[in-house]
Amino acid sequence: MAHRAPGPSPDRADQPPATRRATTRLVAAAVLAGMVFTALFAFGRNHTPDYTRSLFGNTGNDAVALKAQLATGVLALAALQVVLALWIYRRLPAVRRVPRAVPRLHRVVGLLLFAATVPVAVHCILAYGVQLTTPRVAVHAIAGCFFYGAFAAKVLLVHSRRLPGWALPLAGGLLVVSVGALWYTAALWYFNGYHLPGQ
């Protein structure tokens, strides 16, 4: 009875190099996202909150109000990002061409969005840390850590070639969902008199 010589598994052997590289990049992006999330979560859980910390000279309720305004600006930029992404992928009604300025604008808006989140996030994590005291606070804290993990993954994927067509839209969609969750659990909570709608 003949025996086959050991070798690479058929699934692995049948994959072209480009597919293997794309798979490696996807796995690396997921690992990077997990590492960033874990690092922020661990720091926030072990950091001693400083409730007197200021944001651009504002403390207490003034800092909360300023963060709510910045978060609303971030939400608007995220909505613009969605429109630009749909334009790039020709998913807007009656759009047949994509001017060169559109992808560039998409990148610029993404950088502005990220930059606008930094002072808010720094104040949140240093003033409050990562708290899980109530469902609203827990969702907000976890969404904040998730946002930066997803952003790191998307940056890696943007510079990767020959990825599956769903990879970048999924990464971008997760970013937008996390921005929405952050705005809902903090800015809207503040604007609605420190109550979430329906509660």
At 1 the pLDDT is 46
Distances (CA, A) of 190 to 4, 69, 80, 125: 68, 10, 23, 18
Q: Average pLDDT, whole number, for the chain?
A: 90
Q: Is the CB of residue 90 less than 8 Å from the CB of residue 9?
A: no
pLDDT of 2 above 50: no
Over the stretch 21-63, which tens digit does the pLDDT of each residue have?
888 899 999 999 999 999 999 999 999 999 999 999 999 999 9
- Residue 11, SS3 per DSSP: helix
At 21 the pLDDT is 83
* Residue 9 binned pLDDT confidence (cut-offs 50, 70, 90): very low
At 124 the pLDDT is 96
Average pLDDT rounded to a whole number, residues 90-113: 92
Tell me the backbone φ, ψ of residue 58, rounded to 5 degrees.
-100, 140
What does the alpha-carbon distance between residue 57 and residue 59 come to, in Å, rounded to a whole number? Answer: 7
At 16 the pLDDT is 65
Sign of CA dihedral 86, 88, 90, 94: positive
CA distance between the termini of the chain: 72
With both helix axes pointing from N to C terminus, report the angle between 167-182 and 60-88 in degrees, rounded to the nearest 10. 160
At 164 the pLDDT is 87
pLDDT of 10 above 50: no
Q: Is the CB of residue 156 less than 8 Å from the CB of residue 83?
A: no
Of the given ranges (111-115, 142-146, 157-161, 184-188), which has the lowest mean pLDDT?
A: 157-161
pLDDT of 8 above 60: no
Largest interatomic CA distance in the chain: 81
Stated pTM of the model = 0.86
Residues paired with residue 58 on neighbouring β-strands, in sequence order: 55
Over the stretch 117-173, which tens digit does the pLDDT of each residue have?
999 999 999 999 999 999 999 999 999 999 999 999 999 998 787 788 889 889 999
At 14 the pLDDT is 56
Question: If you write DSSP's letter for every residue of 31-53 in order, what string do you get?
Answer: HHHHHHHHHHHHHHHHSPP-TT-
Closest CA to 33 of 156, 119, 126: 156
